[in-house]
A and B are shown apart, each in its own frame.
Chain A
Amino acid sequence: MQHFIEFRNVSFRYREDHPWVLKNVSFHIGSNEWLAIIGHNGSGKSTIAKLMNGLLLPQTGEIFVDGMPVNENTIWDVRKTVGMVFQNPDNQFVGTTVRDDVAFGMENHGLPREVMLKRIEESLQAVGMSEYERHEPHRLSGGQKQRVAIASVLAVSPELIILDEATAMLDPRGRREIMETIREVQRKRSLSLITITHDLNEVTQADRVIVMNEGETWMEGVPRDIFAQKDALQDIGLDTPFVTKLAAELSGAGLAMQREPLNHQELLEDLWTLHSKM
Protein backbone atom coordinates (compact mmCIF):
# COMPACT_ATOMS: atom_id res chain seq x y z
CA MET A 1 0.00 0.00 0.00
CA GLN A 2 1.19 3.48 -0.82
CA HIS A 3 1.65 5.51 2.34
CA PHE A 4 1.06 9.22 2.16
CA ILE A 5 3.99 10.02 4.39
CA GLU A 6 6.71 7.63 5.28
CA PHE A 7 9.68 8.04 7.64
CA ARG A 8 12.38 5.45 7.03
CA ASN A 9 14.99 5.17 9.78
CA VAL A 10 15.19 8.93 10.24
CA SER A 11 17.75 10.37 12.64
CA PHE A 12 18.26 14.05 13.23
CA ARG A 13 20.34 16.37 15.37
CA TYR A 14 20.59 20.15 15.21
CA ARG A 15 24.39 20.22 15.27
CA GLU A 16 27.29 17.80 15.04
CA ASP A 17 28.18 18.14 18.71
CA HIS A 18 24.57 17.99 19.91
CA PRO A 19 22.77 14.84 21.00
CA TRP A 20 20.38 13.16 18.56
CA VAL A 21 16.89 14.63 18.73
CA LEU A 22 15.41 11.78 16.70
CA LYS A 23 16.87 8.31 16.79
CA ASN A 24 16.08 5.92 13.96
CA VAL A 25 12.41 6.84 13.71
CA SER A 26 10.19 4.99 11.25
CA PHE A 27 6.46 5.39 10.80
CA HIS A 28 3.91 6.16 8.15
CA ILE A 29 0.56 7.80 7.69
CA GLY A 30 -2.10 6.87 5.16
CA SER A 31 -4.38 9.15 3.16
CA ASN A 32 -7.29 10.57 5.15
CA GLU A 33 -5.82 9.33 8.38
CA TRP A 34 -5.73 11.33 11.60
CA LEU A 35 -2.50 10.65 13.41
CA ALA A 36 -1.71 12.14 16.80
CA ILE A 37 1.86 12.46 17.98
CA ILE A 38 2.27 12.99 21.70
CA GLY A 39 5.25 13.35 23.94
CA HIS A 40 6.54 15.72 26.58
CA ASN A 41 8.80 18.68 25.82
CA GLY A 42 11.99 17.72 24.06
CA SER A 43 10.74 14.31 22.95
CA GLY A 44 11.36 15.26 19.33
CA LYS A 45 7.74 15.62 18.27
CA SER A 46 8.02 19.13 16.83
CA THR A 47 11.18 18.16 15.00
CA ILE A 48 9.14 15.50 13.20
CA ALA A 49 6.76 18.21 11.98
CA LYS A 50 9.58 20.38 10.67
CA LEU A 51 11.16 17.43 8.91
CA MET A 52 7.88 16.64 7.15
CA ASN A 53 7.82 19.82 5.11
CA GLY A 54 11.51 20.32 4.67
CA LEU A 55 12.07 23.07 7.22
CA LEU A 56 14.74 20.69 8.48
CA LEU A 57 16.47 17.91 6.58
CA PRO A 58 17.52 14.66 8.30
CA GLN A 59 21.13 13.54 8.64
CA THR A 60 20.31 9.90 8.01
CA GLY A 61 17.25 8.08 6.75
CA GLU A 62 14.66 9.11 4.21
CA ILE A 63 11.30 10.85 4.29
CA PHE A 64 8.72 10.43 1.55
CA VAL A 65 5.75 12.74 1.09
CA ASP A 66 3.21 11.51 -1.43
CA GLY A 67 5.92 9.41 -3.05
CA MET A 68 8.43 12.29 -3.32
CA PRO A 69 11.63 12.08 -1.30
CA VAL A 70 11.99 15.28 0.76
CA ASN A 71 15.18 17.08 -0.28
CA GLU A 72 16.42 20.49 -1.48
CA ASN A 73 14.83 20.03 -4.90
CA THR A 74 11.40 18.94 -3.77
CA ILE A 75 10.78 21.13 -0.71
CA TRP A 76 8.66 23.65 -2.61
CA ASP A 77 6.36 20.94 -3.93
CA VAL A 78 6.31 19.28 -0.53
CA ARG A 79 5.28 22.54 1.11
CA LYS A 80 2.35 22.78 -1.29
CA THR A 81 1.23 19.32 -0.15
CA VAL A 82 1.91 19.71 3.55
CA GLY A 83 0.40 22.64 5.42
CA MET A 84 1.49 23.59 8.90
CA VAL A 85 -0.11 25.47 11.76
CA PHE A 86 2.27 26.55 14.50
CA GLN A 87 1.90 27.22 18.18
CA ASN A 88 1.97 30.99 18.49
CA PRO A 89 -1.10 32.61 16.88
CA ASP A 90 0.63 35.97 16.46
CA ASN A 91 3.91 34.82 15.01
CA GLN A 92 2.42 33.12 12.00
CA PHE A 93 0.06 35.89 10.95
CA VAL A 94 1.83 37.58 8.04
CA GLY A 95 -0.87 39.71 6.42
CA THR A 96 -2.17 43.05 7.66
CA THR A 97 -5.74 41.75 7.45
CA VAL A 98 -7.37 38.32 7.56
CA ARG A 99 -7.81 38.13 3.81
CA ASP A 100 -4.22 39.21 3.13
CA ASP A 101 -3.00 36.52 5.47
CA VAL A 102 -5.07 33.80 3.83
CA ALA A 103 -3.75 35.00 0.48
CA PHE A 104 -0.09 34.90 1.56
CA GLY A 105 0.48 31.21 0.88
CA MET A 106 -1.39 31.39 -2.43
CA GLU A 107 0.63 34.42 -3.49
CA ASN A 108 3.81 32.48 -2.77
CA HIS A 109 2.66 29.72 -5.08
CA GLY A 110 1.77 32.26 -7.77
CA LEU A 111 -1.94 31.51 -8.00
CA PRO A 112 -3.96 33.90 -10.18
CA ARG A 113 -6.02 36.56 -8.41
CA GLU A 114 -9.44 35.18 -9.36
CA VAL A 115 -8.56 31.79 -7.86
CA MET A 116 -7.33 33.50 -4.70
CA LEU A 117 -10.55 35.45 -4.23
CA LYS A 118 -12.61 32.30 -4.59
CA ARG A 119 -10.44 30.26 -2.24
CA ILE A 120 -10.28 32.99 0.41
CA GLU A 121 -14.04 32.89 0.58
CA GLU A 122 -14.21 29.10 0.67
CA SER A 123 -11.52 28.56 3.27
CA LEU A 124 -12.74 31.31 5.58
CA GLN A 125 -16.17 29.77 5.38
CA ALA A 126 -14.75 26.36 6.24
CA VAL A 127 -13.36 27.71 9.53
CA GLY A 128 -16.33 29.99 10.22
CA MET A 129 -14.43 33.26 9.89
CA SER A 130 -16.13 34.75 6.82
CA GLU A 131 -17.41 37.83 8.60
CA TYR A 132 -13.90 38.74 9.75
CA GLU A 133 -12.42 38.97 6.27
CA ARG A 134 -11.33 42.60 6.61
CA HIS A 135 -10.28 42.45 10.27
CA GLU A 136 -6.76 43.24 11.42
CA PRO A 137 -5.04 40.57 13.53
CA HIS A 138 -4.99 42.63 16.73
CA ARG A 139 -8.79 42.67 16.73
CA LEU A 140 -9.01 38.87 16.82
CA SER A 141 -8.76 36.44 19.74
CA GLY A 142 -6.08 33.76 19.85
CA GLY A 143 -8.55 31.08 18.78
CA GLN A 144 -9.75 33.20 15.88
CA LYS A 145 -6.19 33.81 14.74
CA GLN A 146 -5.51 30.07 14.78
CA ARG A 147 -8.67 29.51 12.75
CA VAL A 148 -7.36 32.01 10.22
CA ALA A 149 -4.07 30.11 10.22
CA ILE A 150 -5.99 26.93 9.41
CA ALA A 151 -7.87 28.76 6.65
CA SER A 152 -4.57 30.01 5.22
CA VAL A 153 -3.31 26.46 5.08
CA LEU A 154 -6.56 25.16 3.56
CA ALA A 155 -6.46 27.82 0.84
CA VAL A 156 -3.37 26.23 -0.69
CA SER A 157 -5.36 22.93 -0.69
CA PRO A 158 -2.76 20.68 0.87
CA GLU A 159 -3.28 16.97 1.33
CA LEU A 160 -1.91 16.93 4.85
CA ILE A 161 -2.25 19.44 7.65
CA ILE A 162 0.09 19.37 10.62
CA LEU A 163 -1.00 21.13 13.78
CA ASP A 164 2.15 21.62 15.79
CA GLU A 165 0.87 22.36 19.31
CA ALA A 166 -1.63 24.68 17.67
CA THR A 167 -3.80 24.83 20.76
CA ALA A 168 -1.07 25.10 23.37
CA MET A 169 -1.31 28.87 23.77
CA LEU A 170 -5.09 29.09 23.77
CA ASP A 171 -7.63 29.21 26.55
CA PRO A 172 -10.04 26.24 26.92
CA ARG A 173 -12.61 27.94 24.72
CA GLY A 174 -10.11 28.63 21.93
CA ARG A 175 -8.91 25.05 22.23
CA ARG A 176 -12.42 23.72 21.78
CA GLU A 177 -12.96 26.04 18.79
CA ILE A 178 -9.87 24.73 17.06
CA MET A 179 -10.57 21.06 17.71
CA GLU A 180 -14.12 21.46 16.43
CA THR A 181 -12.93 23.35 13.35
CA ILE A 182 -10.38 20.67 12.62
CA ARG A 183 -12.86 17.83 12.97
CA GLU A 184 -15.28 19.63 10.68
CA VAL A 185 -12.63 20.33 8.06
CA GLN A 186 -11.35 16.78 8.07
CA ARG A 187 -14.85 15.43 7.67
CA LYS A 188 -15.66 17.66 4.69
CA ARG A 189 -12.42 17.54 2.74
CA SER A 190 -10.33 14.46 2.23
CA LEU A 191 -7.27 15.33 4.24
CA SER A 192 -4.66 13.60 6.29
CA LEU A 193 -4.13 15.19 9.64
CA ILE A 194 -1.31 15.14 12.14
CA THR A 195 -1.86 16.74 15.52
CA ILE A 196 1.18 17.18 17.69
CA THR A 197 0.46 17.81 21.33
CA HIS A 198 1.40 17.03 24.89
CA ASP A 199 -2.24 17.14 25.94
CA LEU A 200 -3.68 13.63 25.97
CA ASN A 201 -7.22 15.04 25.94
CA GLU A 202 -6.69 16.03 22.33
CA VAL A 203 -5.76 12.63 20.98
CA THR A 204 -8.99 10.80 21.78
CA GLN A 205 -10.47 11.49 18.35
CA ALA A 206 -7.42 10.49 16.36
CA ASP A 207 -7.34 7.27 14.36
CA ARG A 208 -3.90 6.36 15.57
CA VAL A 209 -1.45 7.65 18.17
CA ILE A 210 2.31 7.66 18.27
CA VAL A 211 3.93 8.33 21.63
CA MET A 212 7.39 9.85 21.39
CA ASN A 213 9.93 9.60 24.16
CA GLU A 214 13.53 10.78 24.02
CA GLY A 215 13.66 10.79 20.27
CA GLU A 216 12.19 7.35 19.74
CA THR A 217 8.75 6.08 18.89
CA TRP A 218 7.87 4.63 22.22
CA MET A 219 4.43 3.29 21.53
CA GLU A 220 2.01 3.21 18.63
CA GLY A 221 -1.63 2.24 18.54
CA VAL A 222 -5.27 3.33 18.65
CA PRO A 223 -6.13 5.83 21.43
CA ARG A 224 -7.89 3.22 23.56
CA ASP A 225 -4.88 0.94 23.68
CA ILE A 226 -2.58 3.85 24.43
CA PHE A 227 -4.69 5.02 27.35
CA ALA A 228 -4.75 1.54 28.77
CA GLN A 229 -1.03 1.95 29.42
CA LYS A 230 -1.62 4.82 31.81
CA ASP A 231 1.07 3.91 34.31
CA ALA A 232 3.69 3.69 31.62
CA LEU A 233 2.51 7.02 30.16
CA GLN A 234 2.85 8.67 33.53
CA ASP A 235 6.33 7.25 33.88
CA ILE A 236 7.49 9.16 30.81
CA GLY A 237 5.92 12.37 32.07
CA LEU A 238 2.56 12.50 30.28
CA ASP A 239 -0.51 13.40 32.24
CA THR A 240 -3.44 11.11 31.52
CA PRO A 241 -6.96 12.59 31.19
CA PHE A 242 -9.23 12.75 34.19
CA VAL A 243 -11.60 10.08 32.82
CA THR A 244 -8.72 7.64 32.44
CA LYS A 245 -7.55 8.28 35.99
CA LEU A 246 -11.05 7.88 37.34
CA ALA A 247 -11.53 4.61 35.46
CA ALA A 248 -8.29 3.31 36.91
CA GLU A 249 -9.38 4.23 40.43
CA LEU A 250 -12.75 2.57 39.87
CA SER A 251 -11.26 -0.68 38.65
CA GLY A 252 -8.88 -0.52 41.59
CA ALA A 253 -11.96 -0.40 43.81
CA GLY A 254 -13.33 -3.52 42.22
CA LEU A 255 -15.51 -2.03 39.48
CA ALA A 256 -13.99 -3.64 36.41
CA MET A 257 -14.59 -1.73 33.16
CA GLN A 258 -15.10 -3.71 29.98
CA ARG A 259 -13.18 -1.20 27.90
CA GLU A 260 -10.86 1.77 28.40
CA PRO A 261 -13.25 4.79 28.38
CA LEU A 262 -12.11 7.66 26.16
CA ASN A 263 -14.47 10.37 27.35
CA HIS A 264 -17.12 11.18 29.94
CA GLN A 265 -19.87 9.75 27.78
CA GLU A 266 -18.25 6.34 27.50
CA LEU A 267 -17.44 6.18 31.18
CA LEU A 268 -21.00 7.08 32.03
CA GLU A 269 -22.38 4.38 29.74
CA ASP A 270 -20.07 1.80 31.23
CA LEU A 271 -21.07 2.76 34.73
CA TRP A 272 -24.81 2.60 34.32
CA THR A 273 -24.71 -0.66 32.42
CA LEU A 274 -22.32 -2.10 34.96
CA HIS A 275 -24.91 -3.00 37.52
CA SER A 276 -27.06 -5.02 35.15
CA LYS A 277 -24.06 -7.18 34.31
CA MET A 278 -23.01 -7.89 37.85
Chain B
Amino acid sequence: MSSNMIIGQYVPGNSVIHHLDPRTKITIIFFFVLIVFFANSVMSYGLLTVFSLGSALSTRIPVKYLVKGLTPVWFLILFTFILHLFVTKEGTVLFSILTLDVYSGGLIQGLSLSLRFFLLILVTSLLTLTTTPIAITDAIEDMLGPLKKFRFPVHELALMMSISLRFIPTLMQETEKISKAQASRGVDFKTGPIKDRVKAIVPLLVPLFVSAFKRAEELAMAMEARGYQGGEGRSKLRKLQISRLDIYSFIVFGLVIFGLFLTRS
Protein backbone atom coordinates (compact mmCIF):
# COMPACT_ATOMS: atom_id res chain seq x y z
CA MET B 1 0.00 0.00 0.00
CA SER B 2 2.56 2.54 1.12
CA SER B 3 4.91 1.80 -1.76
CA ASN B 4 2.28 2.73 -4.34
CA MET B 5 1.06 5.87 -2.68
CA ILE B 6 3.28 8.83 -3.50
CA ILE B 7 1.39 11.60 -1.76
CA GLY B 8 3.60 12.67 1.13
CA GLN B 9 6.70 10.87 -0.05
CA TYR B 10 9.97 12.59 -0.80
CA VAL B 11 11.93 11.66 -3.93
CA PRO B 12 15.51 12.97 -3.78
CA GLY B 13 16.62 14.81 -6.88
CA ASN B 14 18.62 17.67 -8.25
CA SER B 15 16.09 19.61 -10.30
CA VAL B 16 15.29 23.32 -10.13
CA ILE B 17 12.13 22.58 -8.16
CA HIS B 18 14.10 20.50 -5.66
CA HIS B 19 16.40 23.45 -5.09
CA LEU B 20 13.69 26.06 -4.63
CA ASP B 21 13.15 27.47 -1.18
CA PRO B 22 10.27 25.55 0.46
CA ARG B 23 8.55 28.86 1.23
CA THR B 24 8.51 29.70 -2.48
CA LYS B 25 6.94 26.36 -3.27
CA ILE B 26 4.31 26.66 -0.56
CA THR B 27 3.39 30.19 -1.63
CA ILE B 28 3.13 29.32 -5.31
CA ILE B 29 1.07 26.21 -4.59
CA PHE B 30 -1.24 28.16 -2.31
CA PHE B 31 -1.99 30.68 -5.04
CA PHE B 32 -2.19 27.98 -7.67
CA VAL B 33 -4.93 26.26 -5.67
CA LEU B 34 -6.83 29.57 -5.65
CA ILE B 35 -6.44 30.43 -9.33
CA VAL B 36 -7.39 26.98 -10.56
CA PHE B 37 -10.96 27.96 -9.70
CA PHE B 38 -10.77 31.00 -11.97
CA ALA B 39 -10.11 29.01 -15.12
CA ASN B 40 -13.20 28.79 -17.31
CA SER B 41 -12.10 28.53 -20.91
CA VAL B 42 -10.24 25.98 -22.97
CA MET B 43 -7.28 28.34 -23.27
CA SER B 44 -7.10 29.08 -19.53
CA TYR B 45 -7.31 25.40 -18.65
CA GLY B 46 -4.69 24.69 -21.28
CA LEU B 47 -2.37 27.27 -19.76
CA LEU B 48 -2.68 25.80 -16.25
CA THR B 49 -2.25 22.26 -17.58
CA VAL B 50 0.92 23.24 -19.42
CA PHE B 51 2.23 24.94 -16.28
CA SER B 52 1.53 21.94 -14.01
CA LEU B 53 2.72 19.27 -16.41
CA GLY B 54 5.79 21.36 -17.17
CA SER B 55 6.61 21.65 -13.47
CA ALA B 56 6.03 17.95 -12.93
CA LEU B 57 8.27 17.01 -15.83
CA SER B 58 11.00 19.41 -14.75
CA THR B 59 11.40 17.56 -11.42
CA ARG B 60 12.72 14.58 -13.46
CA ILE B 61 10.66 12.23 -11.32
CA PRO B 62 9.77 9.39 -13.72
CA VAL B 63 6.30 9.92 -15.25
CA LYS B 64 5.50 6.26 -14.67
CA TYR B 65 6.14 6.74 -10.96
CA LEU B 66 3.84 9.76 -10.86
CA VAL B 67 1.04 8.07 -12.79
CA LYS B 68 1.23 4.94 -10.68
CA GLY B 69 1.48 6.92 -7.49
CA LEU B 70 -1.74 8.74 -8.20
CA THR B 71 -3.68 5.46 -8.66
CA PRO B 72 -6.11 5.98 -5.79
CA VAL B 73 -6.73 9.50 -7.05
CA TRP B 74 -7.47 8.41 -10.63
CA PHE B 75 -10.52 6.65 -9.34
CA LEU B 76 -11.80 9.82 -7.65
CA ILE B 77 -11.13 11.84 -10.80
CA LEU B 78 -13.06 9.35 -12.91
CA PHE B 79 -15.87 9.28 -10.40
CA THR B 80 -16.14 13.08 -10.46
CA PHE B 81 -16.29 13.00 -14.23
CA ILE B 82 -19.03 10.35 -14.44
CA LEU B 83 -21.08 11.94 -11.71
CA HIS B 84 -21.13 15.31 -13.45
CA LEU B 85 -21.69 13.74 -16.82
CA PHE B 86 -25.00 12.27 -15.76
CA VAL B 87 -26.18 14.70 -13.11
CA THR B 88 -25.77 18.02 -14.91
CA LYS B 89 -28.72 18.71 -17.19
CA GLU B 90 -27.74 21.74 -19.21
CA GLY B 91 -27.22 22.39 -22.90
CA THR B 92 -28.28 19.99 -25.58
CA VAL B 93 -28.70 16.24 -25.34
CA LEU B 94 -25.65 14.61 -26.93
CA PHE B 95 -26.63 10.96 -26.59
CA SER B 96 -28.35 8.67 -24.15
CA ILE B 97 -27.25 5.47 -22.47
CA LEU B 98 -30.26 3.32 -21.62
CA THR B 99 -32.60 5.87 -20.01
CA LEU B 100 -29.94 8.38 -19.01
CA ASP B 101 -29.48 11.44 -21.19
CA VAL B 102 -26.04 12.95 -21.47
CA TYR B 103 -26.07 16.71 -22.00
CA SER B 104 -23.29 18.78 -23.51
CA GLY B 105 -23.17 20.86 -20.31
CA GLY B 106 -22.56 17.71 -18.32
CA LEU B 107 -19.66 16.73 -20.54
CA ILE B 108 -18.03 20.16 -20.17
CA GLN B 109 -18.70 20.29 -16.43
CA GLY B 110 -17.35 16.76 -15.93
CA LEU B 111 -14.23 17.41 -17.95
CA SER B 112 -13.40 20.72 -16.34
CA LEU B 113 -13.99 19.57 -12.77
CA SER B 114 -11.97 16.39 -13.11
CA LEU B 115 -9.18 18.34 -14.81
CA ARG B 116 -9.23 20.86 -11.96
CA PHE B 117 -9.05 18.04 -9.49
CA PHE B 118 -6.18 16.40 -11.31
CA LEU B 119 -4.19 19.65 -11.49
CA LEU B 120 -4.69 20.33 -7.79
CA ILE B 121 -3.50 16.88 -6.75
CA LEU B 122 -0.57 16.92 -9.13
CA VAL B 123 0.76 20.32 -8.10
CA THR B 124 0.27 19.84 -4.36
CA SER B 125 1.94 16.43 -4.42
CA LEU B 126 4.92 18.06 -6.15
CA LEU B 127 5.60 19.92 -2.90
CA THR B 128 6.10 16.79 -0.82
CA LEU B 129 7.77 14.94 -3.69
CA THR B 130 10.51 17.54 -4.02
CA THR B 131 10.85 18.84 -0.45
CA THR B 132 12.08 17.00 2.65
CA PRO B 133 9.56 16.97 5.50
CA ILE B 134 12.00 18.87 7.70
CA ALA B 135 12.34 21.63 5.08
CA ILE B 136 8.56 21.93 4.98
CA THR B 137 8.55 22.20 8.77
CA ASP B 138 11.16 24.97 8.63
CA ALA B 139 9.15 26.79 6.01
CA ILE B 140 5.96 26.56 8.06
CA GLU B 141 7.77 27.83 11.14
CA ASP B 142 9.14 30.74 9.18
CA MET B 143 5.88 31.61 7.44
CA LEU B 144 3.84 31.42 10.63
CA GLY B 145 6.41 33.70 12.30
CA PRO B 146 4.15 36.77 12.37
CA LEU B 147 1.62 34.82 14.46
CA LYS B 148 4.10 34.90 17.36
CA LYS B 149 2.81 38.39 18.06
CA PHE B 150 -0.53 36.84 18.92
CA ARG B 151 1.20 34.34 21.21
CA PHE B 152 0.66 31.49 18.80
CA PRO B 153 3.25 28.81 19.75
CA VAL B 154 4.97 28.70 16.36
CA HIS B 155 8.30 27.38 17.57
CA GLU B 156 6.67 24.68 19.68
CA LEU B 157 4.51 23.60 16.76
CA ALA B 158 7.53 23.28 14.48
CA LEU B 159 9.49 21.37 17.13
CA MET B 160 6.55 19.02 17.62
CA MET B 161 6.43 18.38 13.90
CA SER B 162 10.15 17.73 13.61
CA ILE B 163 10.21 15.41 16.62
CA SER B 164 7.23 13.47 15.23
CA LEU B 165 9.07 13.12 11.93
CA ARG B 166 12.18 11.93 13.73
CA PHE B 167 10.26 9.32 15.72
CA ILE B 168 8.13 7.87 12.90
CA PRO B 169 10.76 5.28 11.87
CA THR B 170 11.59 4.51 15.52
CA LEU B 171 7.95 3.85 16.36
CA MET B 172 7.51 1.81 13.18
CA GLN B 173 10.40 -0.42 14.21
CA GLU B 174 8.90 -0.68 17.65
CA THR B 175 5.49 -1.62 16.24
CA GLU B 176 7.11 -4.39 14.27
CA LYS B 177 8.97 -5.64 17.32
CA ILE B 178 5.83 -5.64 19.46
CA SER B 179 3.74 -7.33 16.80
CA LYS B 180 6.34 -10.08 16.50
CA ALA B 181 6.50 -10.44 20.27
CA GLN B 182 2.71 -10.66 20.49
CA ALA B 183 2.52 -13.03 17.53
CA SER B 184 4.96 -15.31 19.30
CA ARG B 185 2.54 -15.29 22.24
CA GLY B 186 -0.22 -16.42 19.95
CA VAL B 187 -1.92 -13.20 18.84
CA ASP B 188 -3.17 -13.63 15.30
CA PHE B 189 -3.07 -10.43 13.24
CA LYS B 190 -3.50 -11.86 9.77
CA THR B 191 -6.38 -14.31 9.68
CA GLY B 192 -9.89 -14.56 11.01
CA PRO B 193 -12.89 -12.28 10.71
CA ILE B 194 -12.35 -8.50 10.67
CA LYS B 195 -13.77 -8.19 14.17
CA ASP B 196 -11.09 -10.48 15.62
CA ARG B 197 -8.36 -8.78 13.67
CA VAL B 198 -9.37 -5.37 14.97
CA LYS B 199 -9.43 -6.78 18.49
CA ALA B 200 -5.92 -8.16 17.96
CA ILE B 201 -4.66 -4.61 17.53
CA VAL B 202 -5.30 -3.79 21.18
CA PRO B 203 -2.35 -5.82 22.53
CA LEU B 204 -0.26 -4.04 19.89
CA LEU B 205 -1.37 -0.51 20.69
CA VAL B 206 -1.21 -0.66 24.47
CA PRO B 207 2.51 -1.47 24.74
CA LEU B 208 3.22 0.96 21.91
CA PHE B 209 1.52 3.81 23.74
CA VAL B 210 3.17 2.95 27.04
CA SER B 211 6.60 2.97 25.46
CA ALA B 212 5.87 6.15 23.49
CA PHE B 213 5.05 7.96 26.72
CA LYS B 214 8.18 6.61 28.37
CA ARG B 215 10.21 7.79 25.40
CA ALA B 216 8.61 11.22 25.56
CA GLU B 217 9.53 11.54 29.21
CA GLU B 218 13.14 10.53 28.63
CA LEU B 219 13.43 12.73 25.58
CA ALA B 220 12.15 15.72 27.53
CA MET B 221 14.75 15.04 30.19
CA ALA B 222 17.53 14.74 27.60
CA MET B 223 16.41 17.95 25.88
CA GLU B 224 16.43 19.82 29.16
CA ALA B 225 19.85 18.45 30.03
CA ARG B 226 21.07 19.87 26.72
CA GLY B 227 19.86 23.31 27.67
CA TYR B 228 16.50 23.46 25.90
CA GLN B 229 14.39 26.27 27.34
CA GLY B 230 11.91 27.10 24.61
CA GLY B 231 12.25 29.14 21.45
CA GLU B 232 13.51 32.26 23.21
CA GLY B 233 17.14 33.05 22.42
CA ARG B 234 17.58 30.01 20.23
CA SER B 235 19.64 30.07 17.04
CA LYS B 236 19.04 27.84 14.04
CA LEU B 237 21.37 25.60 12.11
CA ARG B 238 19.13 25.04 9.11
CA LYS B 239 18.74 28.23 7.16
CA LEU B 240 16.24 29.06 4.47
CA GLN B 241 17.50 31.29 1.74
CA ILE B 242 15.74 32.90 -1.21
CA SER B 243 17.95 32.57 -4.27
CA ARG B 244 17.70 33.88 -7.81
CA LEU B 245 15.88 30.68 -8.77
CA ASP B 246 13.07 31.59 -6.41
CA ILE B 247 12.69 35.02 -7.96
CA TYR B 248 12.56 33.52 -11.46
CA SER B 249 9.90 31.07 -10.35
CA PHE B 250 7.78 33.87 -8.94
CA ILE B 251 8.12 35.74 -12.25
CA VAL B 252 7.09 32.67 -14.25
CA PHE B 253 4.16 32.07 -11.94
CA GLY B 254 3.18 35.74 -12.15
CA LEU B 255 3.10 35.42 -15.93
CA VAL B 256 0.88 32.35 -15.62
CA ILE B 257 -1.58 34.30 -13.47
CA PHE B 258 -1.49 37.19 -15.92
CA GLY B 259 -2.05 34.79 -18.84
CA LEU B 260 -4.93 33.15 -17.01
CA PHE B 261 -6.85 36.37 -16.65
CA LEU B 262 -6.20 37.22 -20.31
CA THR B 263 -7.51 33.89 -21.56
CA ARG B 264 -10.55 33.70 -19.29
CA SER B 265 -13.80 34.16 -21.08
A residues with CB within 8 A of B:
53, 55, 76, 79-80, 83-84, 86, 88, 90-97, 99-100, 103-113, 116-117, 120, 136-138, 152-153, 156
Contact = CB atoms under 8 A, between A and B. Distances in A.
24 contacts: A79-B224, A84-B222, A84-B225, A84-B226, A88-B218, A91-B214, A92-B219, A95-B166, A100-B238, A104-B226, A107-B234, A107-B235, A107-B237, A108-B226, A108-B229, A109-B227, A110-B235, A112-B235, A116-B237, A136-B169, A138-B170, A138-B173, A153-B226, A156-B227
Interface string B152-187: 000000000011011001100100000000000000
B234 A55 contact: no
A98 to B, nearest CB: 12
A73 to B, nearest CB: 13
B221 interface: yes
Nearest to A49: B225
A104 B163 CA distance: 12
A107 B223 CA distance: 12
B192 interface: no
Contact of B170 (A79, A90, A153): A90
- Among B166, B223, B238, the one with the most A-chain Cβ atoms within 10 Å of its Cβ is B166
Nearest to B216: A91
Contacts of A117: 237
- Among B218, B226, B234, B235, the one with the most A-chain Cβ atoms within 10 Å of its Cβ is B226
A202 B177 CA distance: 30
B237 A156 contact: no
Contact of A103 (B166, B223, B237): B237
Contacts of A107: 234-237
Given A100-B238, A107-B234, A76 B229 contact: yes
Contacts of B224: 55, 79
Chain B interface extent, by class: 20 to 34
A81 B78 CA distance: 63
Interface of B: 133-134, 162-163, 165-166, 169-170, 173, 214-215, 218-219, 221-229, 233-239
B166 A106 contact: no
A116 B235 CA distance: 10
B227 A91 contact: no
Contacts of A76: 227, 229
A91 B229 CA distance: 18
A113 B219 contact: no
Contact of B221 (A55, A95, A112, A156): A55
Nearest to A112: B235
Contacts of A80: 227
Contacts of B226: 79, 83-84, 94, 104-105, 108, 152-153, 156
Contacts of A88: 215, 218
B239 A108 contact: no
Contact of A92 (B222, B229, B236): B222
A5 to B, nearest CB: 15
B218 A105 contact: no
Nearest to B169: A138
Nearest to A80: B227
A109 B218 CA distance: 21
A169 to B, nearest CB: 12
B222 A91 contact: yes
A138 B173 CA distance: 9
